[in-house]
């Protein structure tokens, strides 16, 4: 335990971390520049670096929610050179642009498989591209559906033993913990709270939440017990 219980990292610490981190890949910077004016929600570069680290050694990844492909890009850069990512998003206006950014980063097309459909439809139709087992699942689409995405991953055996389930936005700007008020009937907040509690209480997972970006849940899958 650290000596000074009141200390939390401040801007100096964050600047120092940034100073020793590798430079942001040009394609990731290009995605950030394209997403910002249109408010397309993408993971920030700190979360991107964590995703790249978590993807190390993970050959098969499934992602729910592609957008411009920022999280996909960071994971692809962390994966083995022959790693595969299957990424799902029905918004083809966004995901067509994603392919261009991945090419800019030199990632061969065959490494990233795009499924242009709502995730629950694609899982429900047993789309063969979504057959497991996957070594990492990154969840970043409709907040109220996180629990159903997890069911689709577990029930159909899509998680390899030792796989990681990673989910973004689980703090939802402080609304999940109650640090900030959420409007009555805020279904995303309630769904995210239920999702986190469920995963944390499931003995098949080893779970934590990193207070990074908008909150990143990381859960290791021990396998069905």
Residue 71 or residue 79: which is nearer to ligand SAM going by CB? 71
Nearest residue to 54 via CA among 141, 169, 136, 149: 136
Given the rule CB under 6 A, which of 14-22, 123-131, 136-144, 185-193 is the region that contacts ligand SAM? 136-144
Interface pick for ligand SAM out of 45, 55, 60, 70 (rule CB under 6 A): 70
Interface pick for ligand SAM out of 17, 21, 29, 41 (rule CB under 6 A): 41
Maximum distance among all Cα pairs of the chain, rounded to whole angstroms: 53
End-to-end CA distance of the chain: 32
Interface pick for ligand SAM out of 52, 60, 114, 140 (rule CB under 6 A): 140
61 is a contact residue toward ligand SAM (CB under 6 A)? no
Alpha carbon of 77 to those of 11, 107, 137, 154, 165: distances in Å?
27, 8, 16, 26, 18
142 is a contact residue toward ligand SAM (CB under 6 A)? yes
186 is a contact residue toward ligand SAM (CB under 6 A)? no
List the x/- string, 87-126, binding to ligand SAM by CB under 6 A: -xxxx--x-----------------------xx-------
Q: How far is the CB of 43 from ligand SAM (least distance, A)?
A: 4
Q: Site size for ligand SAM, by CB under 6 A? A: 21
The residues that touch ligand SAM, with contacts defined as CB under 6 A, are 41-43, 64-71, 88-91, 94, 118-119, 140-142
């Amino acid at each position: 335990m650290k000596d000074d219980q009141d200390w939390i990292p401040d801007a100096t610490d964050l600047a120092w971390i940034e100073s020793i981190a590798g430079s942001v890949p040009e394609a990731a910077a290009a995605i950030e520049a394209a997403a910002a004016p249109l408010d397309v929600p993408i993971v920030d570069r700190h979360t991107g670096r964590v995703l790249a680290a978590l993807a190390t050694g993970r050959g098969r990844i499934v992602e729910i929610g592609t957008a411009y492909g920022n999280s996909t890009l960071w994971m692809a850069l962390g994966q083995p050179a022959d790693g595969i990512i299957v990424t799902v998003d029905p918004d083809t206006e966004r995901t067509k642009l994603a392919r261009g950014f991945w090419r800019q980063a030199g990632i061969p097309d065959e490494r990233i498989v795009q499924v242009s459909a709502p995730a629950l439809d694609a899982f429900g139709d047993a789309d063969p591209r979504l057959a497991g087992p996957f070594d990492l699942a990154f969840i970043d689409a409709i907040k109220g559906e996180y629990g159903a995405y997890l069911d689709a991953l577990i029930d159909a055996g899509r998680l390899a033993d030792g796989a990681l389930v990673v989910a973004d936005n689980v703090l939802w700007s402080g609304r999940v913990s109650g640090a900030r008020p959420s409007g009555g009937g805020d279904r995303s907040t309630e769904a995210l709270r239920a999702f986190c509690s469920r995963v944390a209480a499931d003995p098949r997972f080893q779970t934590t939440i990193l207070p990074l970006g908008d909150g990143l849940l990381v859960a290791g899958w021990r396998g069905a017990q």
